Amino acid sequence: MVIKVAICDDVPVIAKAIEDLMLEYDSSLFEIDIFYDPFRLIKLLEENTYDLFILDIEFPNRSGIEIAETIRKNNYTCPIIFLTSFKEYMEKVFKVNTFDYILKPVTKDKLYPVLNRAIKYLDLDDSKFMFTFNKVFYSLSFSEIIYFEKNKRSVLIHTPSEIYETILLTKTLLSKVNDDFVQVHTSFIVNARHVKQISTNTITVNLNGTRTVEIPMSRKFKDQARKQILMRLRDFIS
């Protein structure tokens, strides 16, 4: 798999330096487009998207935060990495579900650990959840599924933009998903990648940039579920 990357910085020498570092990291892994004008990137996002964004946080007429807000309207899961010279922006950048930030100047020691985490997060095995409903075939990437909800024989599949439905036994469903998915209740299986908060008897997951939902954890599953979720979250951030 090739990762499509958009680098947006109005200082050409900085953008080129980041591109060179990424190609040195692995020239076969990244397909990189450079944007010096944020409006050009935003215009392109009307028809295309990228797997990974690296955005400067300050432009003459627009902030990187505004670009991220535009990205998040259609793509809530892709990693966004901000470039900044000031730590004071950190509270703002994490409101748009930022993957990480790098303080300038960008060096190999700063960039490569973040790339390692982004690649792990993007799950490069191309795994898909495939199912049928009403004789229609569907294929979703695991990363875009927020949680599964059992409703008698039906399974509701919640994503940031839509809810799909299929017919599956819980045992069969669990056999079809990867290790990111954790059963927290007889009726709920959540994607640990999207967990925002773990409370005593509930889990809060991000649905999209502005909405969250609370999912109950039952006594039967909560101890093991808590351990599994924390283990997966540790893997994502390590």
What pLDDT sits at residue 126?
54
| Residue-averaged pLDDT of the chain | 87
pLDDT category at 136 given cuts 50, 70, 90 is confident
Output DSSP code: residue 149.
E
Q: Could you tell me where the DSSP H helices lie in 75-179?
A: 90-93, 108-122, 170-176
Q: What are the tens digits of pLDDT across the range 39-82?
A: 999 999 888 889 999 999 888 888 888 899 888 887 777 899 99
Q: Which range (97-101, 135-139, 158-162, 191-195) has the least confidence? A: 97-101
The stretch 150-163 carries a mean pLDDT of 92
List of domains in the chain = 3-122 (3.40.50.2300), 128-237 (2.40.50.1020)
% of the chain with per-residue pLDDT over 70: 90
* Mean local confidence (pLDDT), 169-175: 91
Cα–Cα distance for residue pair 172/130, rounded to 1 Å: 12
pLDDT at residue 92 tops 80: no
Beta bridge pairs of residue 28: none
82-104 burial: b if 16+ Cβ within 10 Å, else e: bbbeeeebeeebeebbbbbbbee
Q: Are 106 and 83 in contact (CB under 8 A)?
A: yes
Q: Who wins on pLDDT, 32 or 152?
A: 32
List, for residues 213-236, the tens digit of each pLDDT value.
Answer: 999 999 999 899 999 998 877 766
Q: What is the mean pLDDT of residues 153-157?
A: 94
pLDDT at 89 over 60: no
Query: How high is the pLDDT of residue 230?
Result: 87
- Looking at residue 181, its pLDDT comes to 94
Contacts 24+ apart (CB under 8 A), 57-63: 57/82, 57/83, 57/84, 57/89, 57/93, 57/101, 58/84, 58/85, 59/10, 60/10, 62/38
**pLDDT at residue 108 above 60?**
yes
